[in-house]
Each structure stands twice: as structure tokens, then as C-alpha cells.
A and B are shown apart, each in its own frame.
Chain A
Amino acid sequence: MNTPQKPDLAKSAYRRKKIKDAALVLPLLGAFLLASPIITVFATDGYIFGLPLPFVYIFGVWMFLVIAARRLARLLSEP
């Protein structure tokens, strides 16, 4: 990203469009993972590292969303 040479305009426009698309898809993905029957696939009685699976799943997805949003926010804020 910090490469000194100027990027190809068409390429960077295309990349930016992809980033915007991703910004639109991320909340949809989040809604799918956190508010759809997909939860029941993971929310079982099992434990992982001594932690209940639903707890791990929900907070794991949540953390992933935060990190992804951070990355996207950085990319979207680029001029």
C-alpha cells in the first residue's frame, strides 16, 4: 500500500469498487452468521477449551466482524 510508484488508475478504481462491495457484504455476512438458523449448527452443547460452543461461536464471529470492519474502514478511508 505504501509503495512509492503510482498505481494504475483503472486498477485502483476497480480495487476501490471491490472494497465498497465488501463494505456492503460484511453486514449481510454478519446478519447471516448471527441472526439466521446457521447459529443452531454451531450452538450445540459441546465445549471447546472448556468454553461452551455457542459462547465461542458468537464471540468469535463478533471479533471477526470487528477486525474485518477495522480493515475495511482503513481501506475505505484511503483517498
Chain B
Amino acid sequence: MLTFNTLLAISLGYVVMLFGIAFWAEHRANAGRLGWLRSPIVYTLSISVYCTAWTFYGAVGSAARNGLEFVTIYLGPTLVFIGWWWLLRKLLRIGRAQRITSIADLISSRYGKSTTLAVLVTLLAVIGSTPYIALQLQSITLSFSVFAEDGGNANYTAFWVAVGLAVFTIVFGTRNVDANERHHGVVTAIAIEAIVKLLALLSVGIFVVWGFAGGLPEIFAMASDNMLNTETIFTSRWITLTFLSAAAIITLPRMFQVMVVENADEKHLATASWAFPGYLLLMSLFVLPIAIAGNALLPAGSNPDLYVLTVPLNQGKDTLALFAFLGGFSSATSMVIIAAIALSTMVSNHIITPLWLSFSPSRTATSGDIRSVLLLSRRLSIAGILLLGYFYFRITGGSAALASIGLIAFAGTSQVMPSLLGGLFWRGATRSGALIGLSAGSFVWAYTLFLPSFEGAFLLSNSVIENGLFGISALRPYALFGLSDYDPLVHSMFWSMTINVFLFVTVSLLSTPRPLERIQSSQFVDVFRLNTEIGGYLVSRTATSEDLFTLAQRILGTNPAHRLFSDMALEQGKTSGLPDPTDDFVQKIERELAGSVGAASAHAMVSQIAGGGTVSVDELMKIADETAQIVEYSQQLENQSRRLEESTHQLRHANTRLTELGAQKDAFLSQVSHELRTPMTSIRSFSEILRETDQIDSEQAQRFLGIIQEESQRLTRLLDEILDLSHLESGRGNLKIEDVNLGEVVERSINSTRGLIAEAGVTITLNLPEKPVIVSASFDRLSQVFINLITNAIKYGHTENPQITITARAIGKLALIGIRDNGKGIPAKDFDKVFEKFARLSESALAGSAGLGLPISREIMRNLDGSLTLEPSKHGAVFRVSLPLAKT
């Protein structure tokens, strides 16, 4: 038989080994050689902190009492983990993006960084965890007492265990102020402990099955009937327990700590999703055989919670029992260490820091090192929590069965579940809903399960437990509203969850979330859709970089703050000095600080400096305004681009026109040279003949000279016309404008062309108003136009019986003159061409005409503020001249 002192020595040796491993891991991590320290296996093993002494000893106890029911405590987590893609993945992603430090921080952050909610969840966690910590102390002292028949004071044992755990936790759990940073030493030690407890339980199980009974069927043959009672296997309690354990794995502070906060890589979760259920499967595989063996071997009245130890001892396997003892010791210590870290973070961040901030509102800017205050408060919290656990252990005296204490704690922390799930998946969940649902659920839990568990010793007297508050039987804690036929746990879970969920949903539907809540809700619910780098809105821009730096320095420490600020400065493109306090930067600071002090406190601190950073309605309006401005701006842009398109179109059109004009000009030039060359050629050849031929008679010479003269005249006329046209086109025509009688001009024009008219045998019909029409024009120029038009009509309008009709009338302020021939007319497609220079319409053009008549006429009319157009007509060509009447 082992003595108490041997056992103590072995335990101390084991603890020293853990310290050593933790130190070594920290050292390695600091040197940057993480290696397998951050592997998925270590992550999975650290999650096994779920399996506490309650699991290690209590599961066998539960199996001895209730048969297979104990597996429900493992089935819930199994279902949660194999459904990791649904929930845990999102939880991890949010935890990382928002730098969440605890479950209280998560809830607070989701519901608008609410301090009230953080405090509520923290209190609930402390109330739920204290009995649980007491339970671990109890299991350690119980296991000591099994070995040491000479006793040893159980209270002393518990006290010194608590002190030792506090020291370990403080040394390795508060090395850094950043609670978001991973505690490599702790996690590695926990992983080693996870292996120890698994191997210990497996060893005992294998010994029992094959060493003692001789095989699985043999051990089951020993089972008493009630252990495998199949009728009671699937009951409301079965479902409740499965649900409870599923909720617990998500909401227990220590589980959140190892799963989310200590997670190094999201990918590790994929491994844990099957490896952790596998671990649980192995942990529970031999629970039933050990319980059966215990029932068969040990005398009635032995504590089934200690079968893991007493069965090997009974069989004289001291070493195996010692191994089992270490397994139980590992389970208990790992739970206490992680729970203390998680709870101290919560207490320090959500209770002590806000209190400290509110008592000294100006201190963030002026007082000393917040960093040391934070570390101190966290260390004190650890000591306080362990002390609380110790006192609970002293008060309850370790009477209650292990399993029931554990379940009460589970039920308490699971009250966070509705607000958590609602917060992750339902955007409409509000702070008020979470606050009211959570408080009401916790209250019902306390009234129907937690307080009655003291059996009259705390707050609720025995008479209240039996007869209800104020003697009202509807308010009996174990039979609320007359629901009496159920197990107390099922009963409590039913009422607390019903009321919790109902109020949470109803109040959420009825209340309006604050702006910050809305922002946070989308940050949480849509975490996979958002770029994690862009988060939150912090509108105020009054913060100075110096103030922020001072704050960051105090909380993060000088070097990390320095690194953070210089990184940001570099990112902003500054090679030296502090970065600009942009919104991005202020947000980043806030998030970094949140890693140390929690979202609500960080928000409060930064807002203090940034000047009221909570987003007010005004500021939201401003954001909305900015959005509106952006919309307006984009509309303007659109308009401009449309205008740009239009002008591009016009430019393109103009360009085409210019190209055409260029081509016309080229054509004009080649026409001009052609036109000039023809007379020049004849002049040159005739003059050459005259010079080189001696025997030319004078008659012939006379004829040649005549041709030369005629050609020269034509040449001059052509050059005159070109000159005239270019003058007119450039607006340098210098026309002498006077009052002119239209009738006289027409008469003069007909007289000038009388020769041509007679030659072609054209009949001219004049159709002038009796009252003389006086126009404002240049007499000579206007008659030039008419002569041109008449000549044109004679030339092109040739038929058998050619007729030209000239009509004139005054309409309004205009005089309109029409000149019509009865020729074959001009096709509509040629209307524009007619006025082009040198345009000769088809073959009917007569030789000798340079083709400049109509363009010149049109230019003249334009210079006279009138116009010359070709009218569409069925018979013959109709030219219309319009020009202003003289002002009388």
C-alpha cells in the first residue's frame, strides 16, 4: 500500500515535470521554434480539457448508477464537432477576426460591445465554474484519501493543491498581457496531461477486461440487469443530457479558451473535428466494463466515483492504481488551470477594468502603466477564483455526487447558448433580447436547480424547496407551474431554456438595435462574406497618434506598441514618425487592444481618446450622406461620360466631314488645274504654231490669234471666278448693300442673257407682283445670281419647247423668287452635289462651263443674308432664292 507521503512526492514530481514541460515549450515558442507545438494533434489534445476529473472518475460512477447514460456527456460534443462546418468554424473565424478573448467578450462584442452583457456572462461563468473547480479539488482529495489510509487532512490537501494550481496558472497563464496570445506552455502541458489521462483510463480498462475478466463478453456477463436496463435508456433525460453537453462544449469558458482563443490555425479544427470525437470514444469505451467490475468486486456502499482507483487496488495492482491516480490528477489540474485562465480574463477584462475605468475616467490619458494593472488584476483574479473554488469545496464538504455538480454547472453555462447561436446566425438578435433572455434563463436555472442543490443551506430554505416561494405550490423549484413528474435537471432545463429562448426572440423582435449593434451583427453573421481586414466603423477623427501610442504602449507594452505603430506607418507609406490616425488605424488599435482587455473595454478606452467613438445617429447620418454623395457623384460622372460620348460622336462626325472636305479640296485643286490646263494648252500650242511656222497666211494667223485671245479670256474669267468664290467663302466679299427693286434686277438679268435665250429659243414667263418688291441686297451681285440661274436653266433645261418661269412674292420679311425650267430636272440624290464646285451633273454638262456658277451664287446669297436652294419638284428643276425685304 502506498503511503500518503509517497503519493505526495509522486504528485509533486509530476507537477514539477509539468512545470518543466511548460517552461521548455515557452522557451521553444519564444525562440520561434514552434514545430509540433502548434500542430493539429496538440490542438485536439488540448480540447480534451473537456474531460475533467468528473469525466475520469465520475463517468464510471454514473455508469455504475445509471448504465449507458454517461455516454450522453460525450455524444453532445461529438455531434458538435462532426458538425464543425456549421458552427465551430464560424465561431473560430469570428474569434479571430474580432480578436475575441472569452465567451463573455464574444457575447458582448456581438451585441454592440455591451459591458452589461459581458458582466452578466462573466458572473454566470464564475457561478457555474466555481462548483466545478471545487469538484476537481474534491476529486483530488478523494483520490488521495483512497491511498492514504492514515488520512492526511483533506482540507489541507485541497488548499495546497489550489495554491499549486494558482502558481502554475499565474506563471504560465499571465506571461503576456495579450489574452489573445497563445499560452504555449500551458497548452503543451495540457496536451501531455490529455495523453496521460487517456492512457491511464485505457490501461485500467484493458486490465479489467482482459486481465481480470478475460474478455469483453465475460465482463458484460457480470453486469447486473439494471446497468443495461434498456427501457430507461432513451428518456427525456437522455435528450436533455445530450443537448446539455453539446451546449456546454460551446459555452463553457474553458472550452472557448482552448477551442477559439488558443487556436493557432483554423485548419486544425478539421483534424479535431474527427480526432476529438475519437478521443472521447476511447475515453468512454471502458467506462462501462470498469463500472461493472467495480459493482461485482467491491462491497456494497463503496463510492462508485472512485472505481477507477479502487478496482486496481482491490486486485493488488498498485502501479496501475498510481497511474490511474495520475490520470485523475491530470484531468483535474488541466481543467482548473484552463478554467482559471479563462475566468480570470473575463473577470479582469469585464469587471475589474471597466470598474477601474469608470472610477478614473481621465486616467487612460494620464496615469501610469495600464499594462501592469491588467496583469495584476488577472493574477489576482486567478487567485480569487481558485480561492472561491476552495471555499465552495469547504462549505459543501464534498457531499454531492460528482456528476450532479457537473451537470448543474453545464445547465448554468448553457444559458448563454440562445444568445450565442442567435448572435451567430440571426442578424435581428438584439442586445435587449440577449440581456433579458439570458438573465431570465439564468434566474430560472438558479431557482430551479442551482440554489436547491444546496439543500436549504444557501438562500432557499428547505421549506421553500418543498412548498414553493411564499408557500405558493406553483412556484416549487422542482415542480414549477405544477410540472412535477420530471427529473429536476430536465425540469430546470425545460423551463430555463423555454423562457430564455422565448424572451430572447420576442424582445429581439420588439426592440431596435443600436447602430453599433447593427454593425457588429453583420460582422458576425456575415463573417465569411466579409473581408476580415475591414471591420467596424469608428467615425471620430479627433484622436492624435501620440495619445493612441501612449495608450497602446501602456496596454501592449513598449516594444509591441512600437512594432505595431511603425508597421502601420510603413503601411501608410511613412518611413519615420507615427502613422496618421486614420479610421483604419484607430480600428486596428481598438482590435489589438481588444485582444488584451476585451472588446467593450478597448472600445471605451479608444473612444475616450478618439472622442466619443460610439457611432451616434448623427454620424450614421453622415455616413449615409457620404453614401448619397457618392451616388450623386457617380451620377454626375455618368452624365459627363454621356456628354463626352456625345461630343466624341460630334467630333467623329466633324472629322468625317473634314476628311470629306479635304477630299473635295483635293478634287477642287485637281479640277482647277485641269480647267486651267485646257485653255493654257491651246494658247501654248497656237502661239507655238505662230512662232515656228513661217509660211502661215495672215487669215489663218488671225484665226489662231482669235482662239488665243478667247482662251485667255476664259482663263481670266475662270481665275476671276475662283478668286470671287474664295472671297465670298471667306466672307471678304464686301458687298454694297442697298435697297433694290427686285423687278428691275430680274429685268436686267433677262436682258443680259437675251442672246442666249434667243439662241436656245426659250420662252420666259415673268410672274411678278404688281407692287414692286424692294429687297435689301447688292444690285450687281443679285443680278449675277439671277443670270447664273437663268443661264443654268437654259443650259440644262433643254427640251423641245423650253420654258422658264420666274415668280416672285413677298412673305413676311422675306422675298421669295422661284426659277423653274421644264427640263428633265435634277434627281434628289444630286441636290447637294449641284452646289459643289466644278460639279458637272452627268454627261449633260456643256463644255466651257467651269461649273462655278451655282457655288458662287450660293455664296453670294449667303453673303446677302439670304439663301439659294433647290426645291424638290416633279417637272423640271426649281431653284429658290430667298432674301430679306428692305427695312421700311
Bound Cα distance A67, B288 (Å): 23
Cβ proximity bits A49-79 to B, threshold 8 Å, 1 near / 0 not? 1111111001100110111111011101100
Tell me whether A26 is interfacial, beta carbon within 8 Å.
yes
Q: A20-B85, A55-B68 are in contact. Are A34 and B79 (CB under 8 A)?
A: yes
Residue of A with least CB distance to B280: A62
Chain A contact residues: helix, strand, loop or mixed:
helix
Tell me whether A39 is interfacial, beta carbon within 8 Å.
yes
Residues of chain B within 8 A of A34, CB atoms compared: 75, 79, 242
Q: Is the pair A35, B82 in contact by a Cβ cutoff of 8 Å?
A: no
Residue of A with least CB distance to B230: A43
Interface size class of B (residues with CB under 8 A): 35 or more
Interface size class of A (residues with CB under 8 A): 35 or more
Residues of chain A within 8 A of B84, CB atoms compared: 23, 73
Residues of chain B within 8 A of A50, CB atoms compared: 215-218, 220-221
Residues of chain B within 8 A of A30, CB atoms compared: 78-79, 82-83
Q: Is the pair A26, B83 in contact by a Cβ cutoff of 8 Å?
A: yes
Expressed in whole angstroms, the minimum distance between the Cβ of A46 and any Cβ of chain B is 9
Q: Is the pair A55, B278 in contact by a Cβ cutoff of 8 Å?
A: no
Residue of A with least CB distance to B275: A70
Residues of chain A within 8 A of B275, CB atoms compared: 70
Tell me whether A3 is interfacial, beta carbon within 8 Å.
no
Expressed in whole angstroms, the minimum distance between the Cβ of B73 and any Cβ of chain A is 12
Q: Is the pair A39, B242 in contact by a Cβ cutoff of 8 Å?
A: no
Which B49-99 residues have C-beta < 8 A from chain A? 68, 71-72, 75, 78-86
Which A30-51 residues have C-beta < 8 A from chain B? 30-31, 34-35, 37, 39-40, 43-45, 47, 49-51
Residues of chain B within 8 A of A51, CB atoms compared: 216-217, 220
Q: Is the pair A35, B85 in contact by a Cβ cutoff of 8 Å?
A: no
Which one of B266-274, B338-346, B747-755 is at the A interface? B266-274
Residues of chain A within 8 A of B78, CB atoms compared: 30, 62, 65-66
Tell me whether B228 is interfacial, beta carbon within 8 Å.
yes
Residues of chain A within 8 A of B220, CB atoms compared: 47, 50-52, 55
Tell me whether B233 is interfacial, beta carbon within 8 Å.
yes
Tell me whether A24 is interfacial, beta carbon within 8 Å.
yes
Bound Cα distance A72, B82 (Å): 9
Expressed in whole angstroms, the minimum distance between the Cβ of A55 and any Cβ of chain B is 7
Tell me whether B285 is interfacial, beta carbon within 8 Å.
yes
Q: Pick from A27, A53, A54, A67: contact of B79, CB below 8 A.
A: A27
Q: Pick from B215, B233, B273: contact of A54, CB below 8 A.
A: B233
Q: Is the pair B81, A69 in contact by a Cβ cutoff of 8 Å?
A: yes
Residues of chain A within 8 A of B234, CB atoms compared: 37, 39-40, 43
Residues of chain A within 8 A of B221, CB atoms compared: 50
Expressed in whole angstroms, the minimum distance between the Cβ of B60 and any Cβ of chain A is 15
- Chain B CB within 10 Å, residue with most, of A37, A47, A69, A70: A69
Q: Is the pair A27, B277 in contact by a Cβ cutoff of 8 Å?
A: no
Q: Pick from B85, B281, B288: contact of A62, CB below 8 A.
A: B281
Bound Cα distance A34, B72 (Å): 9
Which B210-234 residues have C-beta < 8 A from chain A? 215-218, 220-221, 223, 228, 230, 233-234
Q: Is the pair B274, A69 in contact by a Cβ cutoff of 8 Å?
A: yes
Bound Cα distance A40, B82 (Å): 23
Bound Cα distance A40, B68 (Å): 13
Residue of A with least CB distance to B241: A35
Residue of A with least CB distance to B81: A69
Expressed in whole angstroms, the minimum distance between the Cβ of A33 and any Cβ of chain B is 10
Q: Is the pair B217, A27 in contact by a Cβ cutoff of 8 Å?
A: no
Bound Cα distance A44, B83 (Å): 29
Bound Cα distance A26, B75 (Å): 13
Expressed in whole angstroms, the minimum distance between the Cβ of A56 and any Cβ of chain B is 10
Tell me whether B239 is interfacial, beta carbon within 8 Å.
yes
Tell me whether B238 is interfacial, beta carbon within 8 Å.
yes
Q: List 7 A-B pairs, Cβ < 8 Å.
A: A43-B234, A50-B218, A51-B217, A52-B223, A59-B285, A62-B281, A67-B274
Known: A55-B68, A77-B270. 4 other contacts (CB 8 A): A50-B217, A52-B220, A59-B285, A62-B277
**Closest 4 A-B residue pairs measured CB to CB?**
A50-B217, A27-B83, A69-B274, A70-B274
